[in-house]
């Protein structure tokens, strides 16, 4: 039976059915129409600096290997042996000269070509042409300021076109003298929730900050910190027409500075304020984004936290489970001590046992648990906060202002685009 989607997202994204988050048929359609056709963040180039370095990741539920080639270029392939479908690498990362499947011994070179099959002449008697059974490549691969993105769709638009106006926010995250790098590897854990719930949280949900995280902020804050100045209900969202967007905090500058000091420590916080001043001639008022206590998502499932330099991918693992991967991004120009402090802060706040992360995971898993009941899963949800309008501070994008409260404008955009892609009316 065909999946009827139009009734599940109404009012231009302002009313969303909870059926989006638990139905297996919808999830399977997402793997086909969203993940197999969208640009996905794979890894940072600093994770594979040398010939033969590889990193194992996913696009949707397809296992993917990202590999540094002999000439320094980067390629990506399905981590699937062409013989019987075994993973050709079960390691998360490493360095190799070639990949050999442990099932039947087929060997592939760094470029994905099948170069060896045990007893090929005796077993196949000339019927197996090795050139026909290379690894399946990721059709398109692009490097954006050190971030490697891939797309299975050979007809997909370029990454630059896909990002659109959202590229400005990536530039503010990544445009650094000397570039950026991943520090300390990847943390991974699972949450019993649909992938869209955390992706939506990062794209639009500024209103949860004070109710959910006040205790965590106070745990980090100095004794004289004023709880009434915890940022939270002065948030706006920005978004593009293709589902990307994020939250910016509209609290006064003093409150934001105090909040960043509490979360990062004075030395690291002041570094980012100094960095913003260095970037101001190029980016103007937007340079303040580098220390704004906000978040962002590039549709469908790549997110980051501004100021905290935390990258996220929400890997789907079924309709009600998500594997969270998080990286600590540091500026290459930073001292070793500041890099270590950034990593410590990331683990303490947004690692699997981080004081903020546990708050969020509890929310997301409980939102999912209430969908187990027949009546609860049939409810709809409102995304009505904030007014959508243009704003000169956010050129080229629509700003949804909270007017002293919070906005869900980017959430409306996220689900509008979800519906367009799922019904094949947009890409």
**What amino acid positions are annotated as catalytic residues?**
104, 205, 208, 213, 360
Q: What is the CA radius of gyration of the chain?
A: 22
- Whether residue 99 contacts residue 105, with contact meaning beta carbons closer than 8 Å, is answered with no
Largest CA distance in the chain: 80
- Whether residue 163 contacts residue 170, with contact meaning beta carbons closer than 8 Å, is answered with yes
The per-residue DSSP string of 58-96 comes to: EETTEEEEEEE-TTS-EEEEES--TTT---S--SSEEE-
Pairing of the two strands 398-401 and 180-191? unpaired
Pairing of the two strands 62-68 and 53-59? antiparallel
Pairing of the two strands 53-59 and 93-95? antiparallel
Exposure class string for 203-223: b at 16+ Cβ within 10 A, else e:
bbbbbbbbebbeebbeebbee
Residue 35: partners with Cβ closer than 8 Å, 6 or more residues away:
59, 60, 61, 62, 300, 316
């Amino acid at each position: 039976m065909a999946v009827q989607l139009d009734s599940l997202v109404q009012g231009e994204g302002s009313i969303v059915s909870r059926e989006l988050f638990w139905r297996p048929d919808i999830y399977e359609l997402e793997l086909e129409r969203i993940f197999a056709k969208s640009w996905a963040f794979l890894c940072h180039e600093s994770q594979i600096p040398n010939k033969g370095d590889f990193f194992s990741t996913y696009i949707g539920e397809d296992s993917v290997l990202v590999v540094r080639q002999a000439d320094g270029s980067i390629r990506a392939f399905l981590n699937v042996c062409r013989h019987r479908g075994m993973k050709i690498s079960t390691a998360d990362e490493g360095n190799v000269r070639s990949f050999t499947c442990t099932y039947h011994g087929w060997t592939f070179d760094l470029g994905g070509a099948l170069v060896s099959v045990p007893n090929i002449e005796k077993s196949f008697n000339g019927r197996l042409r090795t050139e026909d059974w290379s690894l399946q490549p990721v059709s398109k691969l692009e490097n954006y300021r050190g971030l490697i993105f891939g797309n299975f769709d050979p007809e997909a638009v370029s990454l630059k076109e896909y990002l659109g106006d959202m590229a400005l926010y990536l530039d503010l995250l990544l445009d650094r003298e000397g570039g950026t790098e991943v520090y300390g590897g990847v943390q991974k854990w699972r949450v019993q929730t649909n992938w869209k719930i955390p992706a939506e949280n990062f794209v639009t949900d500024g209103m949860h900050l004070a109710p959910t995280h006040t205790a965590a902020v106070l745990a980090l804050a100095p004794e004289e910190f004023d709880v009434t100045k915890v940022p939270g209900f002065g948030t706006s969202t920005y978004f593009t027409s293709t589902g990307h967007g994020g939250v910016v905090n509209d609290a006064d500058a003093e409150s934001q500075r105090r909040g960043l000091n509490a979360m990062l420590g004075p030395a690291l916080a002041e570094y980012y304020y100094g960095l913003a001043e260095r970037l101001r001639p190029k980016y103007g008022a937007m340079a303040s984004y580098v220390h704004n206590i906000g978040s962002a998502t590039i549709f469908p499932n790549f997110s980051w936290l501004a100021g905290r330099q935390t990258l996220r991918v929400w890997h789907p693992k079924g309709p009600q489970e998500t594997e969270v991967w998080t990286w600590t991004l540091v500026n290459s120009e930073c001292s070793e001590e500041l890099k270590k402090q950034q990593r410590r802060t990331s683990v303490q706040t947004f690692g699997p046992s981080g004081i903020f992360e546990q708050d969020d995971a509890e929310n997301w898993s409980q939102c999912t648990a209430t969908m187990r009941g027949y009546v609860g899963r049939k409810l709809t949800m409102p995304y009505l906060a904030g007014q959508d309008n243009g704003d000169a501070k956010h050129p080229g994008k629509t700003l949804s202002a909270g007017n002293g409260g919070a906005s869900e404008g980017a959430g409306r955009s996220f689900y509008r685009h979800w519906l367009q892609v799922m019904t094949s009316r947009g890409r």
